[in-house]
Amino acid sequence: MAFYCPDGAMAQQLEATIQALEADGRAGLGRQLSITWLRYSHSLIDSASSRSDLESFWADQPRGASWRGDQARYPASVVKLLYLVAAEAWLQRQLIDDTPELRRALADMIRDSSNDATGLVLDLLTGTTSGPPLPETAFASWALRRRLVNQWCEQLGWSEWAGCNACQKTWGDGPYGRERQFYGADLENRNRLSTDVCARLLHGVMASALVSPPACSRMRELLGRSLDADERAGDPDNQVDGFLGAGVPAGARVWSKAGWMSQARHDAAYIEAEGHAPTLLVVFSEGHSRAGDEQLLPELCRQLLAA
């Protein structure tokens, strides 16, 4: 059962929005998209400070709808949201040390989407390092450790995790050596996430319902995006322009993690805007045309917020 309550009217609106965008010169859009869309009756952040019962929180489901929300796709840099949550979980259990270098890497991984920082974080989470290919026995031991984040996700018991995989670093040019060895001959071991599981992760972080309230507060601070035009102009990798944050009304607040590469343009965002219900929206779009489509995610956001 989904962690949100399916809303028929929202599902109809979501389908109609996709069809309208597809008719506007985006042939095949419906097959290239996965979307999970949630609406709340109150601010998750404001209610988090007074919450004392997590069991009742998870039982009080938001209303929502999805389009191919359970389809696992290559998540690009959105996987960094999961690695951030995992790092805070490891720190809580004292499995890794809380050092200034780790905090610098987590900040760069989320704020700037640094692949180098992500590599360090995943090495610390799994006790592995990159390097030349390994012989069979050593590689089997290395691969087992690299799957530790997957094992932790499985232990959460979330139905949304089915079919997902989060064990790879993120790359500029691509993996080499044992990293390429780990991808498999046909890249069958690439990262895979669904918009449903990403929505549940972000839902928990925004509501202080994952790991601990202090940990969620730290994560929200990293996920916060500036909508100031001058700041965005000075940072071409601001994760707002061309993504969901570019479709919010003036004065809104956005917390998000985007992903972009040659074959994907994704974003996961929680939005609070005056006159609109608090909204959580995760969109994965695949294909070369979608990767270059800077208007798709902002327009989706505008239309769904206004629905």
Give pLDDT tens digits for 17-28: 999 999 999 999
| Cβ-based neighbours of 227, under 8 Å, separated by 6 or more | 240, 245, 248, 252, 254
In eight-state DSSP terms, residue 257 is E
pLDDT band with cut points at 50, 70 and 90 for residue 2:
confident
Please compute the mean of the pLDDT values over residues 98-119 and round it to a whole number.
98
Give pTM, 2 decimals: 0.96
Look at residue 53 in the predicted model and tell me its pLDDT.
60
Asked if pLDDT for residue 189 goes beyond 70, the answer is yes
Give the number of other CB atoms < 10 A from CB of residue 27. 10
Q: Is the distance from CB of 161 to CB of 185 less than 8 angstroms? A: no
Instruction: State what percent of residues in the chain have pLDDT above 70.
Output: 96
pLDDT band with cut points at 50, 70 and 90 for residue 1:
low
Look at residue 60 in the predicted model and tell me its pLDDT.
72
Task: From residue 7, give the alpha-carbon distance in Å to each of 10, 39, 58, 245, 281.
Answer: 5, 10, 17, 24, 15
In eight-state DSSP terms, residue 97 is -
Give the number of other CB atoms < 10 A from CB of residue 41. 10
The closest alpha carbon to 24, from 306, 299, 307, belongs to 299
